[in-house]
Amino acid sequence: MMKDRNKFIMINIAVAICLIIFIPTITSAFSSEDEQSISTYLLGKAMASEIPAINSFEKDEDDISSTDLSLKDYVISSIGIDFANPLSILQKEIVFIDTKSSDIVTDNYSLNPFKLAQEDIFKDNTDVKIDNPELKKPIDNSKPQVFIYHTHTTECYQVQVPTDVSKIKNFNSTDFSLGVCAVGEAITKQLQEKYGISTIHDETIHNASQFAESYTRSGVTIKKYLDKYKDFNLLIDIHRDSNTSRSKMTKTINGKKFATFEFVLDRSNPHFAKNQAVVNKLISISNKLFPGACRGTYYWNHGRKHFNQEKSNNAILIEVGSHVNTVVESVNTSDLISRIIAEYINGTKSTS
């Protein structure tokens, strides 16, 4: 028992001697370089919470006093991150900081010149020529070129911009100044006065009763005019959409709000390809003159009564705006549509 006690005392004395010998060495070894390592580590921890590149390659607490090059240190160094040099970290996150260039030097660091390619610049429609007087020709009222009508004649718009589109009802009105008839009338006036294109606008109400029979009734109206004039360059059935997104249904051009528009075609129409060819030409003109104003074509596989498009190769349907658009926005769109039609009929002289 005494031997064990003496052995324990000897071990404690040996440990004490070792501490006396090595503590000064350890203290002196903890130099300003180690203090810098600790400071750099703390800075790195703070920046790691904000910059992903630091967080991905963050040093562990056990690494701050190590002088050995660990695998993690090698990876960090190989991608150009130096924890003793915080700007090397920022360079990975902020494109205009460059620690190697000497173009603009401040404390051995510089900024990369800011470069923006032309194609990266978003161009708003702020200087668009909507009308083109060069397209105007002498009008010939004996042979109307455009026939405009409305299968759903009472479809209407908002009087003012809605504050909550979710509460808007898809409504109708026999007050033609509030709906699709106002758009049709504006297009008619502009085609005739600005471009010399003789146009007929029929405002017969086809959807007052038995809504499902609206296309049957509008078909009768079309036949009446076709019997008299044989055919037209364009037969346009103007409707109003029911899309609830104002961002999709509104386009700003020259600081002015316009309702966007969309074509509708029936694939079961016996001469669908010919009607589609007409629509595609109109869309092409629209995209060149007013990018984003036309939303393209919506196709039906079996539209009711073919939307009467089987009655002429030139018969089309246009949805102008939606019930979330205002009357003013929708009537404004008549400026765009009349220009597109004028380009299509009178020939493109300028698309500027």
Tens of pLDDT, residues 238-259: 999 999 999 999 999 999 999 9
Joined tokens for residue 272: 């669908």
Share of the chain above pLDDT 90, in %: 59
Distance CA 60, CA 48 (A): 12
Q: Which residues of 173-204 are buried (b: 16+ CB within 10 A; e: fewer)?
A: eeebebbbbbbbbbbbebbbebbbbbbbbbee
- Helix H segments across 242-326? 246-249, 272-289
Residue 352 confidence class, pLDDT cut points 50, 70, 90: very low
58 domain-assigned: yes
121 domain-assigned: no
Residues 66 and 179 grouped into a single domain: no
Q: What is the pLDDT of residue 140?
A: 96
Q: What is the pLDDT of residue 164?
A: 87
3 domain-assigned: no
Q: What is the pLDDT of residue 24?
A: 54
Q: Measuring CA to CA, which residue among 234, 237, 133, 233 is closest to residue 184?
A: 237
Share of the chain above pLDDT 70, in %: 63
Boundary of a domain, candidates 115, 147, 181: 115
3-state secondary structure of 149: strand
Q: Report whether pLDDT(124) > 90.
A: no
Joined tokens for residue 255: 């600081």
Residue 23 confidence class, pLDDT cut points 50, 70, 90: low
Which residue, chain included where needed, has tokens 């105007």?
A: 136
Boundary of a domain, candidates 83, 115, 147: 115
Specify the range with the lowest mean pLDDT, choosing from 106-120, 141-155, 297-311, 317-331.
106-120
Residues 43 and 172 grouped into a single domain: no
Q: What is the pLDDT of residue 171?
A: 83
Residues 175 and 82 grouped into a single domain: no
Residues 156 and 271 grouped into a single domain: yes
Residue 335 confidence class, pLDDT cut points 50, 70, 90: very high
Residues 242 and 183 grouped into a single domain: yes
Specify the range with the lowest mean pLDDT, choosing from 17-31, 105-119, 188-202.
105-119
Q: Measuring CA to CA, which residue among 92, 104, 214 is closest to residue 152?
A: 214
Task: Please compute the mean of the pLDDT values over residues 172-185 and round it to a whole number.
Answer: 96
Q: What is the pLDDT of residue 118?
A: 43
Residues 142 and 240 grouped into a single domain: yes
5 domain-assigned: no
In total, how many domains does the chain have? 2
Residues 80 and 149 grouped into a single domain: no
Boundary of a domain, candidates 115, 147, 171: 115
4 domain-assigned: no
Residues 67 and 101 grouped into a single domain: yes
Residues 203 and 319 grouped into a single domain: yes
122 domain-assigned: no
Q: Report whether pLDDT(99) > 50.
A: no
124 domain-assigned: no
Joined tokens for residue 348: 């493109």
Per residue in 190-226, pLDDT (tens digit) is 999 999 999 999 999 999 889 999 999 999 999 999 9
Specify the range with the lowest mean pLDDT, choosing from 164-173, 203-212, 283-292.
164-173
Q: What is the pLDDT of residue 167?
A: 82
DSSP H/E element including 342 = helix 327-346
259 domain-assigned: yes
Distance CA 260, CA 305 (A): 26
Residues 195 and 311 grouped into a single domain: yes
Q: What is the pLDDT of residue 55?
A: 46
Domain extent, residue 43, equals 12-115
Torsion, Cα 289 292 296 298, to 10 degrees, reads -150
Residues 209 and 313 grouped into a single domain: yes
Distance CA 106, CA 94 (A): 17
Specify the range with the lowest mean pLDDT, choosing from 75-89, 94-108, 225-239, 252-266.
94-108
CATH number of residue 146's parent domain: 3.40.630
Residues 189 and 160 grouped into a single domain: yes
